[in-house]
Amino acid sequence: MIIGVISDTHIPAGAKKLPGSIFKYFKGVDLIIHAGDLISMSVLDDLRQITAKVEAVAGNMDPAEVRALLPVKKMINANGKKIAVIHGWGPPGGMKERVWTEIKQDRPDIVIFGHTHKPENTMDHGVLFLNPGSPTDKEFATGNSIAILKIEKNGMKAEIIKL
C-alpha cells in the first residue's frame, strides 16, 4: 500500500492552490492522509482528483467550519498497520513527545503529525513518526515537502520528498 502524506497546506492563506508537483508525486497512491491546517475544505476536493480515498484531521489554524467536519485525531488501519493521525499544537520543540503522550494509549504502529512545518521521519518507542512538513510554507523549515509512506507485508518505509 502506498500512502501520500501531506500537512499544513494553509490554502488559500499560505498559497492559492496546491503545488502541481504534488499531483505528480502522489499519482497512483492508494490513500492520501492530510494532517491538518487545510484552512479550506477545497484542499480535500483537490486531493480527491488524485485518489478517492482521502483522510484528514483538523489543525489549530483551521476555521470553525473545517473543525466542525474533521476530527482532531483519527486512527486508520492500513494494510495491517495502525496509523494515528493528529496535527499537533504548541511550540515546535517537543512536538513528538506531546503527540506521543496524546496517542500512545492507542498503540499505533505509525504516528502522522504536522504543525511544525518541519519534516520528520524517525523511529521511536518502536513507532514510525512521520511529519511531511508543509508544501506551501517554510516558517520553521528550510524548504517545502510532502511524504510517501509504503506499507508492505514485511514492513513499512517513509520518504520525505522535497518540493
Q: How confident is the model over 85-107, as pLDDT tens digits?
A: 999 999 888 999 999 999 999 99
Of 141 and 2, the one with more pLDDT: 2
- Domains recognised in the chain with CATH numbers: 2-162 (3.60.21.10)
pLDDT (mean) for 68-83: 96
pLDDT (mean) for 16-40: 96
Grid cell listed for 13: 492563506
Give the integer Cα–Cα distance in Å for 101 and 114.
15
CB 148 within 8 A of CB 130: no
Helix (H) or strand (E) holding 42: helix 42-47
CB 82 within 8 A of CB 107: yes
Q: How much is the pTM?
A: 0.96
For residue 13, what pLDDT is reported? Answer: 85
Burial class, 65, CB count within 10 angstroms (exposed 0-12 / middle 13-18 / buried 19+): exposed
